[in-house]
Amino acid sequence: EKGTYPHYMLKEIDEQPLVVRRIIQEYQNEAGELEINADILEAMNEADRIYIIAAGTSYHAGLVGKHFIEKMAQIPVEVHVSSEFGYNMPLLSEKPLFIFITQSGETADSRAVLVHIKELGYNALTITNVAGSTLSREADYTLLLHAGPEIAVASTKAYTAQMAVLAILADVTARSKGLMQNLDLVKELGIVANGMEVLCDAKEEMEEIAWQYLTTTRNAFFIGRGLDYFVGLEGSLKLKEISYIQAEGFAGGELKHGTIALIEDGTPVIALATQEHVNLSIRGNVKEVAARGANPCIISMKGLEADDDRYVIPVVNELLSPLVSVIPLQLISYYAALHRDCDVDKPRNLAKSVTVE
């Protein structure tokens, strides 16, 4: 139940620190080390390439998951939108492992791919929030998100839970391969949970940002580079699905290849700056859009901030920044929808789980 909350979405946003802490506990052994079922580890270790299959927000979590698995466990990963996989099927490697990411475990587009790859004789791991769901039952292995029921159509806590579980999967696989990891994931996820709490307490600031940038606009852009680009994609999906503002997320470097033509006086451009190696270039992009009249809103991470940043999130490990930097975008979307009198939990034309192809 939503208790004192006006909407499930706001409740679910607020649950995120708790969910991350619960995930750590669920995947910790008695010695306090992160652990993954031995069969899953074996499948990860045998794979010469991983194919992540997902839709919507889960696809966006997959993009970040690819980064985790490649950086930590050094296994090549491809991420595919499930509805396209059938038509644009890649040449498969010799020993592929399929990972299905799905909050509900019922998404028909993803299930169609699962059925197909099982016919081909390949192994599948489903990462889902719903034990006993169709995609969990039909896959060889399951990892649970432990996020608790997600009721709002707009996915929030499932997205951060998916990234946390993918980070754990990548970390444990890497260690089992003897790859040295220079991050203590339990500690870093603890810092993430604390950072999330700070952001959940920043609702008034987020409401103000929504008010200032998004109350009357027809469109909005999200830009970022590296991991921030993926979070921007998720931010734009959140905004469009609940506030009906036409929103687009794209890589900062792509601006000059077309999208900059859309910038007009007052166009809101939300830029993420949480990655040190691209901090200067994303700020360069902000200058380019500002020079054409855009209304830029920079959300940066402490240590990388500049004077005119609109909000500065607490420091977390750069690799894990998407788990924290998405929260302002979730809250901004929530308040934008609220100000525009939209039905936040049940946006028009959408269902919580999409059980038709």
Active-site residues, by number, are: 352
Taken in order 110, 172, 50, 250, the sign of the CA dihedral is: positive
x-or-dash string of contact with ligand M6R, 21-60, rule CB under 6 A: ----------------------------------xxxx--
Q: Restricting to residues 78-107, which ones interact with ligand M6R according to CB under 6 A?
A: 102-104, 107
Task: Write out the binding residues for ligand M6R, residues 313-342 only, by CB under 6 A.
Answer: none
In contact, 52 and 78? CB cutoff 8 Å: yes
Q: Closer to ligand M6R at the Cβ: 136 or 155?
A: 155
Burial of 270 from C-beta contacts in 10 A (0-12 / 13-18 / 19+): buried
- Report the distance separating Cα 162 and Cα 144, nearest Å: 9
Task: Taking each helix axis as running N to C, give the angle between helix 157-176 and helix 185-200, from 0 to 180 degrees, rounded to the nearest 10.
Answer: 170
Distance CA 96, CA 51 (A): 7
Q: Would you say 55 or 298 has its CB closer to ligand M6R?
A: 55
Q: Smallest gap, in angstroms, from Cβ of residue 148 to ligand M6R?
A: 15
Which residues in 137-156 contact ligand M6R (CB under 6 A)?
A: 153-155
Q: Looking at beta carbons only, is 23 or 294 nearer to ligand M6R?
A: 23
Residue 211 CB neighbour total at 10 angstroms: 14
What are the strands of the beta sheet with 77-81, ordered from one edge?
Answer: 77-81, 49-54, 96-102, 123-128, 141-144
Q: Which of 37, 194, 317, 353 binds ligand M6R (CB under 6 A)?
A: 353
Q: What is the DSSP letter of 154?
A: S
Span 231-290, contacts to ligand M6R by CB under 6 A: 237, 241
Among 81, 112, 191, 354, binds ligand M6R (CB under 6 A): 354
- CB of residue 346 vs ligand M6R: minimum separation in angstroms? 11
Smallest distance from the beta carbon of 67 to ligand M6R, in angstroms? 19
Alpha carbon distance 263, 196 (integer Å): 32
Which of 209, 237 has the CB closer to ligand M6R? 237
Burial of 137 (0-12, 13-18, 19+ CB in 10 A): exposed
Site map (CB under 6 A) of ligand M6R, residues 53-82, x = contact:
--xxxx------------------------
- Gap between the Cα atoms of 153 and 241, Å rounded: 9
Q: What number of chain residues touch ligand M6R (CB under 6 A)?
A: 16
Beta bridge partners of 203: none
In the complex with ligand M6R, the residue whose CB is nearer, 247 or 304, is 247
What strand order describes the sheet that includes 268-273?
A: 246-251, 219-224, 268-273, 295-301, 311-313
Min dist. Cβ of residue 43 to ligand M6R (A): 21
What is the nearest approach in angstroms of ligand M6R to the Cβ of residue 59?
7
Q: Which is nearer to ligand M6R, 129 or 275 (CB)?
A: 129
Would you tell me which residues interact with ligand M6R (CB under 6 A)?
55-58, 102-104, 107, 110, 153-155, 237, 241, 353-354
